[in-house]
Amino acid sequence: MTGVSKSLLGSLPTAPIQARRFSKTRIAQSAALREDYVELIADLLAVNGEARPIDIARRLGVSHPTATKNINRLKREGLAVAKPYRGVFLTEAGQALADRVRARHRLVVQVLEALGVPIETAEADAEGIEHYVSSVTLQAFDRFLSQIR
């Protein structure tokens, strides 16, 4: 075996199990983009009273056309609406998604902090972890935090 000893690998899962795991990751990657946008839009609305595409692009570190394309996707999915000269607003479904994402983010940050991760690192790492963690793991995180409080 090249580079990795067989003892480190253990055994491979069956093909259907491994395919299901990789599929879960691909689905999460697609959802992560949607979730980042609705969470940011909700934050901008809460702080500034508006979420302009240029501000969304700047904060996500993407071009204005990329932000516009993704905002249009949110609109097609019924998560956002745009008002001329007023920016982007979340629908009820979009706000509900943003609330779920924010709660999941906070939970992941709290677990990382409880493990001794500095807050800035915990916040940055949670941005990735929050999209890939299952509800089973989130429940375990919640139980863990309840036990240490």
Confidence tier at 107 by pLDDT (50, 70, 90)? very high
Ordered by start, the domain boundaries in the chain are: 16-148
Is residue 74 exposed (0-12), middle (13-18) or buried (19+ Cβ within 10 Å)?
A: buried
* H/E stretch holding 148: helix 135-148
Tokens of 66: 């990329």
Confidence tier at 24 by pLDDT (50, 70, 90)? confident
Which segments of 66-138 are extended strands (E)?
80-83, 87-90
Mean of the pLDDT values across residues 37-55? Answer: 96
Half-sphere exposure of 73 (CA within 13 A, CB side): 14
Q: What CATH number labels 16-148?
A: 1.10.10.10
